[in-house]
Structure 1
Amino acid sequence: MIVWINGTHGVGKTTTSALVQQLIRDSRVFDAEKVGETLMDIRPGLPETDNFQHWPPWRPLVVETARRILDYTGGTLVIPMTVLIEQYWREISAGLAEHAIPIRHVVLHADQDILRRRIAEDTMVGPNSPFRLKHLEPYAAAVRTWLPGTATLVDTTHLTPFQAALETVEAIRS
């Protein structure tokens, strides 16, 4: 099984996924961003883009990597990865379905003021990351339109990271 933890940049996907992994026996975290980083390392570079998800190879490579990891290890794969473009999510979820891999799609949500505060106070990435701020509106549009139809929303506005992890695990089990 795959637990895909989605949500905008800065909402707490990485932190939550590490905690979810501790709560689910026989689980591992797979950072699909590393697939994008591999594509970014190709020389000469691939066509210019502001987001590696726009490169057509990224989505099937994420599916294939996840499938191969699960074939090798079994268990549950926790994937913290923002996907805000519906077509990209459809490609990924259809690819996983072709391999009969069940997906539990969870979106970590917080209101815009809390997200802006978290981004402003982030000491890991740095305060006021332009990349993260740029994705707040596309996230808001996705959560108003297609995301609720494909995922369970976990509102983290007033939760600690551990509480968010507990609610995520509860969401995938129900």
Structure 2
Amino acid sequence: MIVWINGTHGVGKTTTAPLVRRLLPDARVLDAEKVGETLMDITPGLPGTDNFQHWPPWRPLVVETARRVLDYTGGTLVMPMTVLVEEYWREISEGLARHAVPVRHFVLHADQETLRGRIEGDTVLGPSPFRLRHLAAYAEAARTWLHAEAEVVDTTHLVPAQAARRIAEAVEAGVGATVNG
């Protein structure tokens, strides 16, 4: 199974994912961003874009990587990755469904003011114009499709360990529909 942790940049996915991994038996973290980084390393480079998710190979490579890892190891893959384009989410989730890989899709959410404060006050990465630029896209995705396609964990008043516990408890209880598309 895959536990996909979605949400805007700066909401805490990368921090929460290893905490979820520790709470679930036989779990591993697979960051789909690494697939994008591999594509970014191709020389000469692929056609210019501001987001590797726009490259058509990224989405099927994420599916293929995840399914191959699961075929090899079994267990659960915890995948922290922002996907705000509905078409891209459909391509990934339908690709996983074709391989009979169940997906629990969670969205870490916080209100815009909280997100802005977290991004601007980030002591590890520092304030990030990239993260701030995606707040509007996240709000639009949340309003139009994303929250309807996932189990939303409001992190406005939670620390990452609390969010991780909520996700792990939901997975272990089997609460919520398995989402594949």
TM-score, normalization: structure 2?
0.94
Q: Deviations over 1:12-64 (max 9, x none)?
A: 00111110000001000001000000000000100000000000000000000
Corresponding residue of 1:93: 93
Indicate conservation of the 8 Å contact 1:106/1:171, yes or no: no
Aligned to 1:64: 64
Distance in 1 (CA, whole Å) between partners of 2:23 and 2:98 is: 28
Code of the residue aligned with 2:107 in structure 1: it is V
- The residue that corresponds to 2:152 in the other structure is 153
Residue identity over aligned pairs, in percent, reads 74
For the pair 1:78 / 2:103, whether they are aligned, the reply is: no
- Residue segments in structure 1 that go unaligned for 5+ positions in a row: none
Q: 1-side partners of 2:121 and 2:19: how far apart?
A: 21
Residue 134 of structure 2 corresponds to 135
Does residue 111 of the first structure (1) align with residue 104 of the second (2)? no
Distance 1:170 1:25 in 2: 12
1:43 matched to 2:61 = no
SS at match of 2:123: coil
Matches of 1:126 and 1:120, distance apart in 2: 7
The 2-side partners of 1:132 and 1:170 are apart by: 29
Point out 4+ residue stretches in structure 1 off by more than 3 angstroms.
Answer: none
Match of 2:8 in 1: 8
The separation in 2 between residues aligned to 1:162 and 1:80, in whole angstroms, is 15
How far off its partner does 1:171 sit?
A: 3.0
Give distance in 2, aligned partners of 1:156 and 1:7. 11
Unaligned stretches of 5+ residues in structure 2: 176-181
Name the Cα RMSD after superposition. 0.7
Cα displacement (A) at 1:126: 1.5
Quote the residue 2:178 is aligned against. none
